[in-house]
Amino acid sequence: MRKTLIIALAVLFGAMAMLYLFREPARDAAYAKLTQNMFVPADDDDFDPGPALGSRFPGVRARYRGDDIVGVEQFAGPNGTVLIASRSLDWCPYCMRQMIQLQEHKGEFDAAGIGMVAITYDDPVAQRAFSDKFAISIPLLSDIDALSFKTLGILNENYSPGEKQYGIPHPGMIVIDTNGNVVAKLFLEAYSSRVDSAAALAYARQALGLANQPGEQ
């Protein structure tokens, strides 16, 4: 009886060790399956939070590389800026997948003279872990006490202070021209859907008055 118990415990501990060793690959595989159909070619609904088109971009209250910042001018390209509002790069698979795809297209945004900067409610430590793991060079801002998302009018009000998800935004993009004015937005009501990065770039180029590349709409 004792020998059987020892064998059973050994098998149990072995299984637990295997689960621990392969927890990240298993999670990544599950996330890949969950997000395989998340990208859409355009913003096709009426959901439209955020600052009004034509208005002055109101700024942010966020942390970046240990500093508190109140604007995104330092991240601007010569032709404008795209601010990506994302829920979490720590636990939201759709946000993670979108950021990875945006990074893959970063060279195209750079070539168009459009700066990219993202903001989430995650603390800087969690953001750094994600950016290190996936080689993300897009600047990541950490919102302070939901102030940025409140100011921008994109705070998800389905959650209350004290809840884990309190402070997340409605995910989307805000396009800002070189004068600091909001010229376009991309927000989908379904948090599990995001506009494809190539389509978002074409949309931003058009909103900023830039000539589209061959094949762009």
- Is it the case that residue 35 has pLDDT exceeding 70? yes
Tell me the residue length of the chain.
217
Q: How many CA atoms lie within 13 A of 101 on its CB side?
A: 21
Cα(71)–Cα(151) distance, integer angstroms: 12
Q: What is the pLDDT of residues 121-147, one digit of tens each?
A: 999 999 999 999 999 999 999 999 999
Contact assessment for residue 109 and residue 154, using Cβ atoms and an 8 Å cutoff: no
Domain count, the chain: 2
Q: What is the pLDDT of residues 193-217, one digit of tens each?
A: 999 999 999 999 999 999 765 555 5
User: CA 188 → CA 12, 16, 54, 180, distances in Å?
Assistant: 45, 40, 20, 23
The C-alpha angle 134, 201, 210, rounded to 5 degrees, equals: 140
| CA 70 remoteness from chain centre | 19
Residue 98 shares a structural domain with residue 78: yes
Least-confidence region, from 28-32, 100-104, 143-147: 28-32
Contact assessment for residue 141 and residue 118, using Cβ atoms and an 8 Å cutoff: yes
Confirm whether 214 is domain-assigned.
no
Confirm whether 216 is domain-assigned.
no
So what's the pLDDT on residue 15?
Answer: 55
Residue 120 shares a structural domain with residue 188: yes
Residue 92 shares a structural domain with residue 152: yes
So what's the pLDDT on residue 6?
Answer: 66
Structural domain boundaries enclosing 188: 40-207
Residue 87 shares a structural domain with residue 13: no
So what's the pLDDT on residue 24?
Answer: 61
Q: Round the CA-based radius of gyration of the chain to a whole number and report it.
A: 20
Residue 44 shares a structural domain with residue 11: no
- Is it the case that residue 182 has pLDDT exceeding 80? yes
- Is it the case that residue 38 has pLDDT exceeding 90? yes
Residue 188: CATH number of its domain: 3.40.30.10
77: CB partners within 8 A, 6+ apart: 109, 110, 112, 113, 114, 115
Using 50, 70 and 90 to split pLDDT, how confident is the model at 28? confident
The C-alpha angle 126, 76, 212, rounded to 5 degrees, equals: 110
Strand runs (DSSP E) across the chain, as ranges? 39-40, 62-64, 67-69, 80-85, 114-120, 140-143, 172-176, 182-187, 194-195
Confirm whether 213 is domain-assigned.
no
